[in-house]
Amino acid sequence: MGMWTYKQWGALIGGLLIVLIATLGVGTTALVVIFAVIGYFVGAFLEGEVDIEDIRARAQGRRGG
Report how far residue 48's alpha carbon sits from residue 42's, in angstroms, rounded to the nearest whole number: 10
Q: Is the pLDDT of residue 1 over 80?
A: no
- Domain locations along the chain: 6-59
Helices 6-24 + 26-46 axis angle, to 10: 130
- What's the whole-model pTM score? 0.67
Could you report the per-residue pLDDT of 2-58, keeping only the tens digit for each? 899 999 999 999 999 999 999 999 999 999 999 999 999 999 999 989 888 888 888
Dihedral over Cα of 14, 35, 37, 49: its sign: negative
